[in-house]
């Protein structure tokens, strides 16, 4: 089975720009979650998508938005980038009805905002 993949691996953007990060879920998983991991911190939940609809959101402003596609791939969009958005962005897929709620993580996209 294929795992969770993310692209690109690294990205450098300028403050004020917009960025799109991509994720392909693990085969058979219909739920995708996005996390932001700042340096020296644990991952923080941004939002989750299930059946192409947002299914929960963390404490992130509206300039963080997402999409989930019918093939369960997903995008994270960030508008008006700020320096503090520099972080590792992780995508995780899961089977939402799985009572174990286990999530499988991708390798992440390292975003640097200058």
Partner 1 sequence: AQSVSQHNHHVILSEAASLELGCNYSYGGTVNLFWYVQYPGQHLQLLLKYFSGDPLVKGIKGFEAEFIKSKFSFNLRKPSVQWSDTAEYFCAVTVMEYGNKLVFGAGTILRVKS
Task: Using CB under 8 A, pick the residue from 45, 60, 65, 110 that binds partner 1.
Answer: 45
Alpha carbons 107 and 5: distance in angstroms, whole number: 7
Which residue's CB is nearer to partner 1, number 41 or number 77? 41
For the chain, what is the largest distance between any 2 Cα atoms, rounded to a whole number of angstroms? 42
Closest C-alpha among 103, 111, 57 to residue 82: 111
Minimum CB separation of residue 112 from partner 1 in Å reads 18
Minimum CB separation of residue 111 from partner 1 in Å reads 16
DSSP category for residue 85: G
Interaction between residue 62 and partner 1 (CB under 8 A): no
Minimum CB separation of residue 15 from partner 1 in Å reads 26
Closest C-alpha among 91, 87, 88, 95 to residue 105: 91
Binding mask 14-33 toward partner 1 (x if CB under 8 A, else -) reads -----------------x-x
Task: Record the tokens describing residue 56, joined without a space.
Answer: 């929960």
């Amino acid at each position: 089975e294929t795992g969770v993949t993310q692209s690109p691996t690294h990205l450098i953007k300028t403050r004020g720009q917009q960025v799109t990060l991509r994720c392909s879920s693990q085969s058979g998983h219909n739920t995708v979650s996005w996390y932001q991991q700042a340096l020296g911190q644990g991952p923080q939940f941004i939002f989750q998508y299930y059946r192409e609809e947002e299914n929960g959101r963390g404490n992130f402003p509206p300039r963080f938005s997402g999409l989930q596609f019918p093939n369960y791939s997903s995008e994270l969009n960030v508008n008006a980038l700020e320096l503090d958005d520099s972080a590792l962005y992780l995508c995780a897929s899961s089977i939402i009805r799985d009572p174990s709620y286990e999530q499988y993580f991708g390798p992440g996209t390292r975003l640097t905002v200058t």
